[in-house]
Structures are given as structure tokens and as C-alpha cells.
Structure 1
Amino acid sequence: MSDQFVSRLREKAVIVTGAGSGIGRATAIAFARAGAHVLGVGRRADALQDTAARHPGIAVLAADITAAGVPQAVIEAATGRWGRLDVLINNAGATAVMPLADTDAQRVNDLLALNVTAPSLLARAALPHLRAVRGTIVNVSSTYGHRPLPGAAHYAASKAALEQLTRSWALELAAEGIRVNALAPGPTESQALAAAGLPDTMVENIKQDEIARIPLGRRGDPEEVAAWIVHLADPGATWITGQVLTVDGGLELV
């Protein structure tokens, strides 16, 4: 990472949701290494403390962003600490294996609450602060936000919704100098599959199937994805908005 790149992010205030593991943890660390002040948000206090231990520039807040009033509280925690907010990374999300025959209203509602509603409310609460500094939002989608995923259609649909929010917000906020982009990672090493409640044998089978279909022959590393999230949020990327950047080892090509 060049000194120029670091200097553009130095002293910027960044919120990263889902910072307790995987892409979120890697993103929080990448921003902190670039000189930013980072608030990592997640449900598990112990996992967040592990993230904070990786860099002194990371503060953490254990919270359920789907709970009433929490999105506003998250924004206030960052602005109260640093007096500003420059970047919002909507990374927190969940995967749900749910074939149509097994579709359950509560599971659908819970999935949309985390993957669609919470990012929307965080963005709304962040808006006055982003306006003040001509800041940026990066939403973390998935390669399955724009390709079908049999057996997990509602997950794919939630990410498709996030991508359309990205494009619409980008147009809505462009006149105010606020950039909105999305990063769509392919299968990446994380705890997402295990967190979905799948047994270890099924998780391993899914991983091997994904590896077989990815042209570059492997799943991604969280650090590889995090690097591109930071690039999209970089103040130097002044003419990029409304884009969905896919980082998936070529999976989108097949």
C-alpha cells in the first residue's frame, strides 16, 4: 500500500459492520493499516475483541444492527468518538440455505432484516455526516446478487436488492458528492456457511463444489476482497459511483 494511498485515508472515520470475522475483520484491519479510525460492529463481543487486537486503530461495538434504534446508535458511536464519519461499509449479512419447498416467513423476514433493511437504516442515519464530508458507502453484495443460486434464492434476492439500492442511492446522492458502490465477492473463506447452521460435511462439500467451478481454482481470501473494498472507498476514486465490482476468481464467467 503506497504512502499516497495511506495519506488519503489517514484520520478518516470508517464504520465496518460484520467486523468479527471473515471479510469484515479483514476490511477493518485494512482500513486501520491505511491510517483510518475504524469502528468495527458485530453481534459477538469476543470476536470483535479479536479483531480489535489486530490493530490499535480499531474500536469495536457489539450490537445487533437489526434491533430497533441500533443503526442510529452505531452512527452516533462513531461520530461521538471522532466527530465525523467518512465511510460506511455495509458488510454484515447472512447466508440462508432455503429451497422453495422449505420457505419459512420468519426466516425470510430475518434474512431481509439483516441483508437489506439494516444497511438501509445505517445509510439513512449516516447520511447527514456523509453529506458534510462528501463521503462514501460501500455495500458488500455477492456474486449471487446477479446470478441464480438454486436452494438459496432468498439470499440471492437479498443481495440483488442491495445491488439495486447501490445504483439507486448513487444516482440519488451524486449531486451531494456522496459516492455509493458495491463489492460482490465470490465464495470466500469465512464462517458464513457454518453460521448458516450447515453441518461440517455439507460445508466441506459446498466448498469443494465451489472450488471446482471457479476458473482460478480456489476460494478467495478475505484480505483479497478487503483490498478492493478499501479501493472503492478511497477518496482518490472520485469518479466511481453506482458500480458493482465482482471479485470472484472468474466464477461470473461460467
Structure 2
Amino acid sequence: MELTAVVTGAARGIGRSVVTRLRDAGYRVVAVDVAPEVTELAEPGWLLPVVADVTDDGTPAAVVGRAVAEFGRLDLLVNNAARFLRRPALETTDEDFDRLFAVNVRSVFRLTRAALPQLTETRGCVVNTASISGLVGIANQSVYALTKGAIVQLTRQLAIEYAARGVRVNAVAPGAVDTEFMAEARAADPDPAASLKVTLGNHPIGRMSTPDEVARAIVFLAAPESAGITGTILSVDGGYVAR
């Protein structure tokens, strides 16, 4: 039986690695991203790229509809799309707050809600990308941390609500990951080299995780081997939260 997944934030970084891993595992994948380069992933019969903004009102129903129309079912939803903001609370505007919550929380809830009827039918699962920022305090990430803390709690709540219907809901909580996303955020720092040194020092393994390491954790949480796991937040952080 061929399984079908929807992956958001699929054009690069963790999302792109997830798409590759799922494709290698035999999934048919609907790869969603606001960036046009997601179309580079197109592979007829296996990979359907969809250029869409996850915050648009019509996106949840449209994406789930495309998955079912193209592949006949939906077994896995990976909510990976997100925005990052490193800014002190006093310098954070209402617009910053609303923008981050729209992408990082509201879109996750709405897409999951749209997918749940299909996932209930297939006894599928949801894997969310949270963050260590949702588990511990990190300076200058007040709003970003709020959004990721919301994802942590949403994961647990939905796991409890839908366990009896056969739907598993889990999340990964990455630390620093070596992606363009991270590089762009670091470039905005006054001293990127010093910032990198601090980041590496905070991770006991002495390096950032790779996108593929996070992707493998996501695919594991979707696999039959994790059938007894739901409501779990799996840290992929090089030991950050164990300090």
C-alpha cells in the first residue's frame, strides 16, 4: 500500500530533507511552500509541489483536497512551515507577533483540522516541527518561543483527543540546525561569528544538527516502528535541553 504525506515548508532545509526521506520510504508526497522553488521537487506520480501560503484561508482545504484527488488518501501531515524572529520583547511589534502566530501556530491548527477527517479514516499521523525554544527559555525569542510552546501543547492536546480514533500526533524539537533559515537569522546578528560560537557552545555535541538528522526523526515518528508513541516531543538538539 502506497502512503501519502503532506509536508509544509518543503522547499528547503528540514522540509526538503523530509520530502526526500519520505520519497525514499515509498511515500507519495504533496510538498507545500510559499517559495516557487518547491516546483523543483516535481516528480509525476510521486511528488506534487504546491506553491501556497499556509496562512491563506483557502490553503488547508486546498492542500488536503489536492492530496486526496492526486493520490487517493492522506496518511501523514508534517507541519514544518515556520518563521523565526530574534528580537527583545520591548522591540517586538504587534505586527511581528501577529505574523509569527499566523504562520507558526494558526496555520498548523487549521491545516491539522482540515486533515484530521482523512487521517482518522487512514489511522494516520501528524508530526509537528516545534523547537527547543518551546521547551526552555532563550533570550530575545519571546514571541518565537511562544509560538513553539503553543505547538508543543497543541501536539499533546491533539494526541489525547484523537488517540482513540487511531491518529497519532507527535513533534520534533530541534536545536540549532545547519540550514539557510539559520544562516539568514545569524547574518542579522551584530557579530555573526561570535553568535555562532555561542550557539555551538550551547550544544554539547559541539555542532548544529543537520536537516537530515531532523528529517530522520520525523520519518521515525511517522513509521510503524513508533506505533506506540503519541503526544511525544522528541528533541533533536545535540543535548541542549539535557544540560
Give me the TM-score of the superposition, normalised by structure 2.
0.94
Instruction: Select 2:4's aligned residue among 13, 22, 35.
Output: 13
Query: Which whole-Å deviations, capped at 9, do the CAs of 1:149-194 have from their partners, x for residues lacking one?
Result: 1111110110010000000000000110100000111100112235
1:111 Cα deviation after fit = 0.0
CA 49–197 in structure 1, closer or farther in 2 if over 3 Å, else same: farther
CA distance in structure 2 between the aligned counterparts of 1:118 and 1:183, rounded to whole angstroms: 17
The 4+ residue runs of structure 1 with deviation greater than 6 A are none
Identity of aligned residues (%): 38
| 1:49 and 2:42 are equivalent in the alignment | no
Matches within 5 A, 1:126-205: 126-196=115-185, 198-199=187-188, 202-205=191-194
- Is contact 2:39–2:51 with CA below 8 Å preserved after alignment? no
- Is contact 1:136–1:179 with CA below 8 Å preserved after alignment? yes
Q: Which residue of 2 aligns with 1:243?
A: 232
CA 235–203 in structure 1, closer or farther in 2 if over 3 Å, else same: farther
- Is contact 1:145–1:158 with CA below 8 Å preserved after alignment? yes
Between 1:134-143 and 1:185-194, the stretch displaced more is 185-194
Q: What secondary structure is seen at the aligned counterpart in 2 of 1:14? A: strand
- Is contact 1:94–1:196 with CA below 8 Å preserved after alignment? no
CA 159–131 in structure 1, closer or farther in 2 if over 3 Å, else same: same
Stretches of structure 1 lacking an aligned partner (at least 5 in a row): 1-9
CA distance in structure 1 between the aligned counterparts of 2:205 and 2:41, rounded to whole angstroms: 29
Query: Which whole-Å deviations, capped at 9, do the CAs of 1:102-121 have from their partners, x for residues lacking one?
Result: 02001100000100000100
1:246 Cα deviation after fit = 0.3
CA distance in structure 1 between the aligned counterparts of 2:12 and 2:209, rounded to whole angstroms: 14
Q: What secondary structure is seen at the aligned counterpart in 2 of 1:137? A: strand
Q: Which residue of 2 aligns with 1:36?
A: 27
Q: How many residues align?
A: 243
Instruction: Select 2:77's aligned residue among 85, 88, 92.
Output: 88
Q: What secondary structure is seen at the aligned counterpart in 2 of 1:236? A: helix
Q: Which residue of 2 aligns with 1:5?
A: none
CA distance in structure 1 between the aligned counterparts of 2:161 and 2:109, rounded to whole angstroms: 14
| 1:25 and 2:38 are equivalent in the alignment | no
CA distance in structure 2 between the aligned counterparts of 1:152 and 1:199, rounded to whole angstroms: 14
Between 1:184-193 and 1:198-207, the stretch displaced more is 198-207
Query: Which whole-Å deviations, capped at 9, do the CAs of 1:17-61 have from their partners, x for residues lacking one?
Result: 000110000001000000000111001112x133447x9732210
CA distance in structure 1 between the aligned counterparts of 2:191 and 2:156, rounded to whole angstroms: 35
1:214 Cα deviation after fit = 0.9
CA distance in structure 2 between the aligned counterparts of 1:122 and 1:43, rounded to whole angstroms: 15
CA distance in structure 2 between the aligned counterparts of 1:75 and 1:244, rounded to whole angstroms: 25
- Is contact 2:14–2:215 with CA below 8 Å preserved after alignment? yes
Matches within 5 A, 1:224-235: 224-235=213-224
| 1:213 and 2:202 are equivalent in the alignment | yes
Stretches of structure 2 lacking an aligned partner (at least 5 in a row): none
Instruction: Select 1:122's aligned residue among 101, 107, 111.
Output: 111
Q: Which residue of 2 aligns with 1:63?
A: 52
Give me the TM-score of the superposition, normalised by structure 1.
0.90
Query: Which whole-Å deviations, capped at 9, do the CAs of 1:197-245 have from their partners, x for residues lacking one?
Result: 9537644443332112211010010001100100001133211000000
Equivalent position amino acid for 2:2 in 1: E
